[in-house]
Structure 1
Amino acid sequence: MAADTMTAKSAQPRLRADALRNRERIVVAAREVIVESGAHIPLDEIARRAGVGNATIYRHFTDRRELIHHVALAVMSGVADQAESALAEEADSFSALRRFVHAAADERIGALCLLLSDGLDKEHPDLIAVRDRLSAGVEALMGAAKVEGRLRTDIGVGDLMVALNQLTRPLPGSFCVDFDAFVHRHLQLFLDGLQAPARSELPGESVTLEDLQHRP
């Protein structure tokens, strides 16, 4: 009896770990598929990419909307992690910003607008919390670079995130088979344009992430 109890107890953490790995694989697969093909890709394809059965997806997420909600949280949280790490670990402010921009591309931030435009509740407390954390992290990065005179002063967090989103979306069609190589090349060109002193005056006003959420 005692041996059976010990065996059951020792099995429980392993099962929980397996379930957690499956959940993470589903979220990662969904993020990749959404970036490539849009948010309405069949769940069968997400399950295939994750290496799980359809039933496993529904054990973790009640429907597509809940899955997309968690993918959005994962993308935003991962990008926020990158902003905080870059600021803490890089001695030079613009090097920190450069590291963040390339890391955000690797986090597949190109999925973000696709996710948030798919009927998600943008006022959900979890989304608000991670959006605020992301905004604060990127604002700190950009603020440090502005104080040091390395970053032009006429852009805001929203400007940076829109550009990142646009530059990390795959082009329509299947001709760019190595899209990631183009992403980092073009991001580097974009970063060169952010450095101070600015060579031109930007039209309009700088925006925040919150501004983007409330614009039609």
Structure 2
Amino acid sequence: MATRIADRNPQPKLRADAARNRERIIAAAREVLVEHGAEVSFDEIARRAGLGNATIYRHFADRRELIRQVTVSVMARTADQAEAARAEEPDAFQALRRFVHAAADERIGALCPLLSDGVERDHPDQVAARERLASAIEALMTAARDTGQLRTDIDVGDLLVALTQLTRPLPGWGSRSTEAGEGCCLDFDRFVHRHLQLYLDGLMTPARSELAGSAATLEDLRRGL
């Protein structure tokens, strides 16, 4: 049997301390990117992670690679939430509700602009994470639709567009507000979950109105609607 290329060139396994540092960098970068956008300095990310700049450059060749790993990490965590909700919630629509609120807490609305700002969308890691998340959301929606709780005139793209729009901070409102204080952050989070709850109520059957146009599919999103 021919040896696969991946077998001939296995990825080196990180030492435990190096793996922890990598996770600290990704977690810190996620926070800082949400708050300040893609142009934030490595100095700020290193400060937030409690590490030196050299440690970041040992793990990530450049900003593009770091942003890619942050987006892959967020999609993986969000897929974990979707799969856990489906496995643990006996009610299919409650599982969908749980997932949507968990996805909001992952700040995917604030991170979505990063996907169009220099991230290699066709990178294998990116594609794999995106497809896993899409499949997990489709499974949640299919289960809710099969139980007669989810209206039939929407698709995964509708949910993802709404989730992105409703969880994206208003201009000048990051994850934290240095001018208005911590209360600003908490108020914004409260509004997000209130508005998501209203949106989810609108997804339930029986439908109160007929939607204009056609359902947004994953293919629509990939083509840029």
TM range (shorter): 0.7 to 0.9
- Return the TM-score normalized by structure 2: 0.84
Aligned to 1:207: 216
Identity %: 69
Asked if structure 2 preserves the Cα contact closer than 8 Å seen for 1:61 and 1:67, the reply is yes
Asked if 1:32 corresponds to 2:58, the answer is no
C-alpha spacing 1:34/1:59, structure 2 compared with 1 (3 Å): same
1:207 deviates by 2.1
Asked if structure 1 preserves the Cα contact closer than 8 Å seen for 2:110 and 2:169, the reply is no
Aligned to 1:83: 82
C-alpha spacing 1:189/1:135, structure 2 compared with 1 (3 Å): same
Q: Which has the higher helix share?
A: 1
Q: Distance in 1 between matches of 2:83 and 2:65?
A: 27
Q: Kindly provide the CA deviation profile for residues 64-114 of structure 1, in whole angstroms up to 9, marking residues without a partner as x.
A: 000001011001111111111111111000000001001111222123421
Alignment of 1:52-63 (within 5 A): 52-63=51-62
Structure 1 residue runs of 5 or longer lacking an equivalent are 1-12
CA RMSD of superposed structures (Å): 1.7
Asked if structure 2 preserves the Cα contact closer than 8 Å seen for 1:93 and 1:148, the reply is yes
Q: Distance in 2 between matches of 1:133 and 1:112?
A: 18
Asked if 1:193 corresponds to 2:202, the answer is yes
Aligned to 1:183: 192
Q: Kindly provide the CA deviation profile for residues 113-145 of structure 1, in whole angstroms up to 9, marking residues without a partner as x.
A: 212111212111211111111111100100111
* 3-state SS, counterpart of residue 116 of structure 1: helix
Aligned to 1:125: 124
Aligned to 2:158: 159
Aligned to 2:5: none
Alignment of 1:130-145 (within 5 A): 130-145=129-144
Aligned residues: 203
Aligned to 1:150: 149
